[in-house]
Amino acid sequence: MISDELNWLSAHEMTRRFAAGELSPVDVLEATLAQLHRVNPTLNAICLLDEPQGRRLAAEAADRWRRGAPLGPLDGVPVAVKDTAHVAGWPTRIGSHTTPTAPSTEDTPGVARLREAGAVFFCKTTTPEFGWKGITHGPLTGVTRNPWDVSRTPGGSSGGSAALVAAGVVPLATGGDGGGSIRIPAAFSGVFGLKASYGVVPNFLGSMGTLAVYGGLSRDVADSALLLNVLTRPDARDSFAIPYRGIDYLDGLDGGVAGLRIAWSPDLGFPVGDPAVVAGMQPAIDALAKAGADVQHVALDLSGAQPALEAIWGASQAAAVRHFDGAQLAALDPGLLRLVVSAQSISASELQAAYAGMRALSQTMHAFHRDYDLLLTPTIPITAFAAGVDTPDATRFPQWFDWTPLTWPFNLTRQPAASVPCGFVEGLPIGLQIVGPMFSEPNILRASRCVEQACATGARPGLGASGSGL
């Protein structure tokens, strides 16, 4: 097997071959590093590389597999970690010049679970400063690029993670989603991403409160189910996490969608969609209907929730930098600084009104799901735009959340939502968003698997393929 083939293996296929003695984690890690060195000079998707640690962890995993004593189904699998999470021994910069360079002393809960499972850590991936926007560029790490078209953004804030998965560097990468930050880059980069229900994955409670969920990205649905099995394991440091339920998210993954009641909304009341992107959803919708789901077009208007999102998002970002001095503020991404300054005018009563709006939206969706098991939308109503800018059109979309209106409502409601690749528009990936009521991850994964089986093309970005000239 040549190294290029190793780069495109799924995590579950890797560990199957590890168990059979056909493949070693050491070989996989070397292929991973070779691919990283091929593509990263163009993609700029990592902000830290620790090859010695990666090689040590891969060798330890190889020894466990030889002894027939793996730590779990991810033992020896290379996983890239988004630099919003703590990894013991590595600094946590969160894309900012203002953060300390000293190494972290503990792992974030999700990282701790992956370490316990034997995942091989070797790099951290790029993110915009404090994960504040849905694209990936900023003052510390510069511009991260999309493997399908390097003039375009991979999305964000988990853009570095999505780019590495899409380019065949890793089968799995971690991310976080506070307003779409897993699903946006999944759609723009042609990979799968799931935001679980709030509380399902233990995490540190940060300034974003219940908006943010820890998770990851993969090239196929089964790998994300495998990842979720690991990330959901308990961590006493998160008192907001729900009790551990021991669910195996691989169970029933191929069970199909027959009998499910599924709603389709092309816009959620935000008339900003590119008609070609909306039309590009149709093969996936047809596949779900053919598989036995009852799919109905609905008129669902959630546009009234945007003021609540703007107030809560602005306040959360301002809280993250509330102790900064003038020099630190001056070092921020200019767009983040403008947001923080504007948020100073949000009063306590306005913030409480925003939280009331958030609860009202959650109640609206709770009632909606009495009639529908799942909701479909485009993940992003446009395709990936130029790398290095915050918005493709400042008149039409003044802020990043104006071109992502179909993702952030479900951070407000805390619902699970996934983005599954469903095709291309002019060579750029598009994603179908699948949303469910709280704790409906199994149904979302089954529907995502159905779409994946119907719409997967096997296409790989030219940048990530051998022979591309890199």
Active-site residue list? 82, 157, 181
Rounded CA separation 436/452 (Å): 18
Strand partners, 215: 175
Q: Which residue in the block uniquely carries the two structure tokens 């909606």?
A: 368
What string of H, E and C letters represents the secondary structure of 288-353?
HHHCCCEEEECCCCCHHHHHHHHHHHHHHHHHHCCCCCHHHHHCCCHHHHHHHHHHCCCCHHHHHH
Rounded CA separation 70/333 (Å): 44
Query: Is residue 327 within 8 Å of residue 319, measured between CB atoms?
Result: no
Query: Is residue 108 within 8 Å of residue 204, measured between CB atoms?
Result: yes
Where b means 16+ CB within 10 Å and e means fewer, 275-313 reads: eebbebbeebbebbeebebebeeeebebeebbebbbbbb
Strand partners, 3: none
| CA-atom Rg of the chain in angstroms | 21
Give the residue from 108, 105, 58 showing the smallest Cα distance to 83: 108
Q: Which residue in the block uniquely carries the two structure tokens 């959630």?
A: 302
Length of the chain: 470
Phi and psi at 272, nearest 5°, equal -120, 5
Q: Which helix (H) or strand (E) holds 276?
A: helix 275-280
Query: Is residue 419 within 8 Å of residue 186, measured between CB atoms?
Result: yes
Rounded CA separation 204/202 (Å): 7
Rounded CA separation 157/161 (Å): 9
